[in-house]
């Protein structure tokens, strides 16, 4: 279990499935946001020393007390077992649970809409379910809306399909906004980030 420490690093985990066949799936939006955050830090993901993940270590925020040490992570297990890699990184880097930010797709929010929150249920999201089983539910979430499947399409089929051509037109903008929201959450705190990005 991760110990609490205000000066401890933050772990931002973008959730998704490894492999090129999943890269543009709705379920992989967490990876997309993590990749953008890594580019902003001018760094490339590398295999973690501990756990089945790719990581980037760096800092975000202005110089001074708001500058935060951050570990960006992409669990390289499959989505349904994200808890193992996240827990291993949390233990290795001594990240308290309340300094974890999971970025993930959210069915019950319209496409492109963001919601930031601390704790709560998993809403049927298997990646969150796995993390909560390992660490409890008191971690932050950046919830990236993908909407509900059309017609009678099964949820599993919907999340493992690529974003539609119409959705892709605005995807870069929404991914950029989600990256901004994750940075704001870590630097400014949840309430201020919510007031800016919870639409």
Q: Give the alpha-carbon dihedral of 114, 116, 122, 123, to 10 degrees.
A: -40
> What are 43's strand-pairing partners?
none
Catalytically active residues are: 27
CA distance 156 to 80: 12
CA distance 33 to 176: 7
Q: Is 153 exposed, middle or buried (0-12, 13-18, 19+ CB in 10 A)?
A: exposed
CA distance 192 to 17: 31
């Amino acid at each position: 279990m991760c110990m609490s420490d205000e000066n401890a690093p933050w772990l931002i985990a973008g959730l998704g499935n490894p492999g090129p066949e999943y890269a543009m799936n709705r379920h992989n939006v967490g990876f997309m946001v993590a990749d953008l955050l890594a580019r902003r830090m001018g760094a490339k993901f590398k295999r973690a020393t501990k756990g089945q993940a790719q990581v980037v270590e760096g800092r975000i925020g202005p110089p001074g007390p708001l500058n935060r040490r951050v570990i960006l992570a992409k669990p390289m297990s499959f989505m349904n077992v994200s808890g193992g890699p996240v827990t291993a990184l949390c233990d290795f880097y001594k990240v308290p649970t309340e300094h974890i930010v999971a970025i993930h797709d959210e069915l019950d929010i319209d496409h492109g809409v963001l919601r930031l929150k601390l704790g709560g249920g998993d809403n049927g999201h298997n990646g969150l379910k796995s993390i909560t089983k390992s660490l409890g539910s008191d971690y932050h979430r950046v919830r990236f809306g993908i909407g509900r499947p059309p017609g009678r399409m099964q949820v599993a089929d919907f999340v493992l399909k690529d974003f539609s051509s119409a959705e892709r037109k605005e995807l870069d903008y929404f991914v950029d906004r989600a990256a901004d929201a994750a940075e704001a959450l870590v630097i400014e705190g949840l309430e201020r980030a919510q007031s800016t990005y919870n639409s």
